[in-house]
Every structure is written in C-alpha cells, then in structure tokens.
C-alpha cells in the first residue's frame, strides 16, 4: 500500500491516505494517480482552479518526503512552478506529481497561500 500524508499549513489536522495504486486512477482531476487525483478520490480537498490541466499553480504542494517516488516534472510544470508563491526545491503541482511506487510514503505540505492569494480551504481564517 502506498501512503500520502497531507500536512496543512493553515493548521487543519493532517490527513493520512492509504491506497492501492493498482486501483487508480480515481477518475478525478489531474494526471491519473497524481497527488491531486488521489486526494480528491479520498475526499481531501486540494485547490485546483484549472481542473488539474497543468495551467495554473493553485494545486502547488511541497513534498516533504518521498520526492523521488514521484514522476519527474515536465518543463511545462517547472515553468508554472516558477510563479508559485513559496516555491521550494521540492515543490510540485499536485495535478502532475504521479505516485509511481506502490510502496511509496509521500508527505506533502499544502501551503496556505496560492496564486489566488488564500486557499479556499483556509478554514482558520473563517
């Protein structure tokens, strides 16, 4: 089983998702078996203004663990990431970062701020 642990910068409780990549794709937005696809398939929201089409940076995540267990970033993704607030060396677009290892342990941080300024899921601000 692969796992994705999601840590939210806005203080929301972290979430742990265990899934079998053989059951993917979960038929949601983003590349099949991407972080975005897995999260949405398990009821965990991740902003994605462009519908997971690699056309914005709202699904920007920072990979804290398991970066090498994900697909390589395309040139288009890297160009878009240059516009993401809070960019790090392990930043990825959730719609493009595909979990490739069936035993992967991925930890991602969902930043509080996106190109839309404040995430729609910023419950702490409400």
Domain range list for the chain: 2-125
Report the CATH fold assignment for 2-125: Ubiquitin-like (UB roll) (3.10.20)
CA quadruple 96, 50, 7, 27: dihedral positive or negative?
Answer: negative
The 10s digit of each residue's pLDDT in 89-117 is 999 999 999 998 888 899 999 988 766 54
Q: What is the pLDDT of residue 72?
A: 97
Which residue would you say has higher pLDDT here, 125 or 105?
A: 105
pLDDT of residue 116: 59
Let me know if 48 is exposed, middle or buried by CB neighbors in 10 A (0-12, 13-18, 19+).
buried
For the four alpha carbons of 57, 59, 65 and 68, in that order, the dihedral sign comes to: negative
- Asked if 2 and 102 touch (Cβ cutoff 8 Å), the reply is yes
Q: Answer whether 1's CB lies under 8 Å from 19's CB.
A: yes
Q: Which of 15, 1, 4, 8 is nearest to 70 (CA)?
A: 4
What pLDDT, on the 0 to 100 scale, is given for residue 117?
A: 47
pLDDT of res. 78: 97
Structure tokens at 100: 């490739």
pLDDT of residue 123: 37
Taking a C-beta distance cutoff of 8 angstroms, is the pair 35, 106 a contact? yes
Mean pLDDT of the chain: 86
pLDDT at 27: 73
SS3 93: strand
* Mean per-residue pLDDT, 43-62: 92
CA count, 13 A, side-chain hemisphere, 81:
20
């Amino acid at each position: 089983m692969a796992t994705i642990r999601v840590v939210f910068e806005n203080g929301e409780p972290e979430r742990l998702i265990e899934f079998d990549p053989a059951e993917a794709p979960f038929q949601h937005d983003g590349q099949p078996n991407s972080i975005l696809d897995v999260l949405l398939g398990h009821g965990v929201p991740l902003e994605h203004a462009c519908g997971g089409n690699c056309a914005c940076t709202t699904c920007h995540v920072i990979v804290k663990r398991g970066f090498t267990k994900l697909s390589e970033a395309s040139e288009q993704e890297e160009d878009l990431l240059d516009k993401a607030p809070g960019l790090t060396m392990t930043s990825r677009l959730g719609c493009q970062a595909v979990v490739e290892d069936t035993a992967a342990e991925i930890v991602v941080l969902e930043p509080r701020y996106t190109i839309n300024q404040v995430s729609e899921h910023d419950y702490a601000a409400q």
